[in-house]
Amino acid sequence: MNLLYEEGGDIKIATVQSASGSGDTESWQATSLSGKKIKLKTKEVWLRFEKPDAQAAMDEANTLTADIDLQFLWDCAPDEEFGLVDVAHEYFGSQASIAQQVGLAIALQGAPVYFRRKGRGRFQRAPQEQLQAGLAALERKQKELEQQVAWQQELVEGTFPEVLKSLAKQLLFSPDKNTSAYKALVAACTQTGESPAQLLIRCGAIDSPLAYHQGMFLKSHFPNGSDHNPAISIDQSAYASTVAELPLAQVQAFSIDDAGTTEIDDALSVTPIDGGHRVGIHIAAPGLAITKDDPLDQVARNRMSTVYFPGDKITMLPDSVIEQFSLDEGIPRPALSIYVDIDEQGIANRDSLQMRAEMVPMAANLRLEDIEHLVSEESLLDEGANYPYRKELATLWQAAKHLHAGRQEKRLANGLRAEQLGLIDPNALARDFHFQIRDVDGVKRVEIVPRQRGSILDTIVAEWMIFCNSASGQLLADHGLPGLFRTQKGWGPLRTRMQTTPGPHEGLGLDYYAWCTSPLRRYSDLVNQWQLIALAKHGVTAKMVAPFPPRDATLMGIAADFESCYQAYGEFQDRLEKYWCLRWITQDGESKSVYVRHLKEGMSRVELVPLHLPIPELATHPRMTRAEVVIADVDLLQLSAGVRVLEIEAKADAPEKAIEPESSDAPKEDASSD
């Protein structure tokens, strides 16, 4: 005997092997057409029949189902609930065969628009209004399917449908997976074997792999766009009132940055005093005009940092705010200044620390490209040397060497190796690079210029900014004010972190370290500046008026958010630097012969550019082994390339690590400042 039943919405037939019970409690052990052993009860069975054979009945039923007129069947069916056999007699006649009944069961089960399911083998036809609505929906769905197929074919052929052009970025970066457009894109990718990004670039919907990398980042971190709202700016009346209260500093300050720096956060001054000099570290002070929870604070808190990448940047604060507070030369600028006295030998007296909010006259913006090659140990002592601020730089350099030496003593006490000052090996791998991207005859070309760190000017900036961050951390700690402290202790992946309570930074050899020298581009520095301004204005009562009191949960949240955001921005910069390095490889041909240095575990770096690539052939060689390779098969979407080794040279000695500056315009944390 054969049984007709429904399983998972499908009509099936099984052949009985054995039976038990009787009447309503009868059950069967049966074998389905697929060979599956099942147990069926009376209430689950629609029909019982001996002939024809189960497979023959199902094959004939599937053929008959295609010819069943559902509209005619609906017309034949009664208004009230009906059974399968009853309607089969209405449609096929009183001699309806088993195959016809099975075919009708398949048709009824698969036509919910026409018939409602009311139980085992029982149905009721849908009301006229619902039927018309359902048929209209089916027609729309069919048209959508036809449109989807047409779009799929266009995409496969390399043409992006005109009506979808406005949705290109949405399809790639934040698609609605239920739309016909997305289904067409996925189907086309399956057919061609391409990724969505590859297909959209081939079709011209996305300009280039660069647009893809940038779009993915913007979608994650700037879903509403990276432009600032022009309506959000500094209240000029409040700014004027704040500035009017600030005293004018009796200094002539100057900054030291590279030519591309537009957010000048910090400057230095040197003033002669009895027995030595007074050094001023002057930090741009947007915290004087931006207050916690105001619109500009919300902008800065959402962004957390300026995003740097080759060829452009996304600023944390609007350009109008940066222009107003950047320490540009020519006029006094509002700043938070830390002063320390040094003796004739250049040794700083930490007990002389002073902090003031004031207007600082900006005498000059020195650019590294203009004077770095002129500054040397000899020229700093040469009265006839002709470059600006020679005497001041000589004083700062002498003191910087003492600051560095003091930190190394603590590094040694922490069980770390002392860092050597200045350039150690002129053949060492460069770590700073300037990416210059030009449009040449409609094609973008990149020039990557390496720059070795460790010059005298680098060290002056690094040591005095580290000193400023250390002194700021000490002032916050001494007065019980929370802040965003950068700490490093022990070993492991999480040894360096941001926290709201003071702690040592063993890598730098400091008891306290709080980022505060870049408030125009890092939110952590702006937060710390608010706390320091409260301290500068209110002294020992600062805890009562500071924006963030001790154990403030909001500040803890900011610390966590800043860490994750800053890391994501750094990864994006790394990603685009790798993109432009690969463009540099291919812009004069499909392949390029270059020299690399092995670092560890088969990962090597190209000498001329900051491009890291896996080269398994070098995995067993010592660190800094040099090899000549050919780089080809560059994939700008996957950011990968094939490498063929031409020659492996003898091992080069690894250079000692030198101190590196904490640049006021570098988004990445330098190894020395971490």
pLDDT category, 247, cuts 50, 70, 90?
A: very high
The predicted-structure confidence for 556-566, as pLDDT tens digits, reads as follows 999 999 999 99
* pLDDT computed for residue 414 by the predictor: 85
Is 90 exceeded by the pLDDT of residue 8?
A: no
> If you average pLDDT over residues 101-107, what whole number do you get?
90
Per-residue confidence (pLDDT) for residue 462, from 0 to 100: 93
pLDDT at position 658 over 60: no
Instruction: In whole angstroms, give the CA distance from residue 114 to residue 77.
Output: 10
What confidence score (pLDDT) does residue 443 get?
85
Give the model's pLDDT for residue 83: 87
297: which 2 tokens? 């604070």
Q: Which of 120-134, 402-416, 538-552 is predicted with the least confidence, judged by mean pLDDT?
A: 120-134
Q: Residue 484 carries which DSSP code?
A: -
- Amino acid 353 reads L
pLDDT average, residue stretch 657-665: 40
State yes or no: pLDDT of 664 exceeds 50.
no
469-481: average pLDDT: 94
Mean pLDDT of 122-151: 86
Over residues 272-293, mean pLDDT: 94
Rounded Cα gap, residues 300 and 528, in angstroms: 14
Q: Running DSSP on this structure, what letter comes out for residue 510?
A: B
Mean pLDDT over 17-21 rounds to: 89
Q: Does the structure show a pLDDT above 90 at 419?
A: no
Averaged pLDDT of the chain: 88
User: CA 363 to CA 365: how far, in whole Å?
Assistant: 7
What's the burial of 450, exposed, middle or buried (CB within 10 Å: 0-12/13-18/19+)?
middle
User: What would the pLDDT profile of 564-616 be if each residue is shown by its tens digit?
Assistant: 999 999 999 999 999 999 999 999 888 899 999 999 888 999 999 999 999 99
pLDDT digits (tens, 9 = 90+) for 535-555: 999 988 998 899 999 988 999
pLDDT at 316 over 90: yes
Bridge-based pairing of strands 45-49 and 27-32 is: unpaired
Residue corresponding to tokens 């002294």: 539
Mean pLDDT of 426-445: 83
Share of the chain above pLDDT 90, in %: 55
Structure tokens at 488: 């490093």
Strands 348-367, 253-257: pairing is parallel
**Average pLDDT in the 33-57 region?**
89
In 3D, which of 198, 191, 196 has the Cα closest to residue 181?
A: 196
Q: State yes or no: pLDDT of 322 exceeds 70.
A: yes
Give the list of residues 6+ apart from residue 406 with CB closer than 8 angstroms, or none: 509
Residue 651: the pLDDT is 61
Looking at the predicted structure, is the pLDDT value of residue 663 above 70? Answer: no
pLDDT at 493: 59
String of b and e for 119-153 (b: at least 16 CB within 10 Å)? Answer: eebbbbbbeeeebeeeeeeeeeeeeeeeebeebbe
Token representation of residue 68: 């069943």
Burial of 351: CB neighbours in 10 Å, binned 0-12, 13-18, 19+: exposed
Mean pLDDT of 278-285: 96
How far apart, in whole angstroms, are the C-alpha atoms of residue 218 and residue 242?
Answer: 36
| pLDDT at 7 > cutoff 90 | no
pLDDT tens, position by position, 257-268? 988 888 999 999
The residue-averaged pLDDT of 317-345 equals 94
Which tokens hold the place of 185? Answer: 């894109």
**CA 310: distance to chain centroid?**
15
How far is residue 439 from each of residues 100, 215, 224, 442, 445, measured CA to CA in Å?
Answer: 73, 21, 28, 6, 6
Signed CA dihedral, 216, 219, 225, 226: sign only:
negative
Is the pLDDT higher at 517 or at 418? 517
Q: Residues with Cβ < 8 Å from 279, sequence gap 6 or more?
A: 268, 269, 270, 339, 340, 341, 342, 348, 395, 396, 399, 464
Q: What is the pLDDT of residue 122?
A: 87
Residue 141 host element (H or E): helix 128-157
273-287, 412-426, 617-631: segment of lowest average pLDDT: 412-426
**Residue 13 near residue 4, CB atoms below 8 Å:** yes
Residue 431: the pLDDT is: 82
- Sequence-separated (6 or more) residues with CB below 8 Å from residue 169: 206, 215
pLDDT at 470: 95
Q: List, for residues 206-229, the tens digit of each pLDDT value.
A: 889 999 999 999 999 998 889 999
The pLDDT of 651-668, averaged and rounded, is 43
Q: What is the pLDDT of residue 657?
A: 44
Using CB atoms within 10 Å of the CB of residue 230, give its burial: 0 to 12 exposed, 13 to 18 middle, 19+ buried.
exposed
Mean pLDDT of 362-379: 92
Q: What is the pLDDT of residue 666?
A: 39
Nearest to 124 by CA among 189, 58, 78, 61: 78
Task: State the Cα–Cα distance between residues 469 and 664, nearest whole angstrom.
Answer: 12
Q: At 671, is the pLDDT very low, low, confident or very high (cuts 50, 70, 90)?
A: very low
Give residue 426's pLDDT: 61
Q: What pLDDT shows up at residue 669?
A: 37
Q: How confident is the model at residue 670 (pLDDT cuts 50, 70, 90)?
A: very low
Q: Is the model more confident about 120 or about 227? A: 227
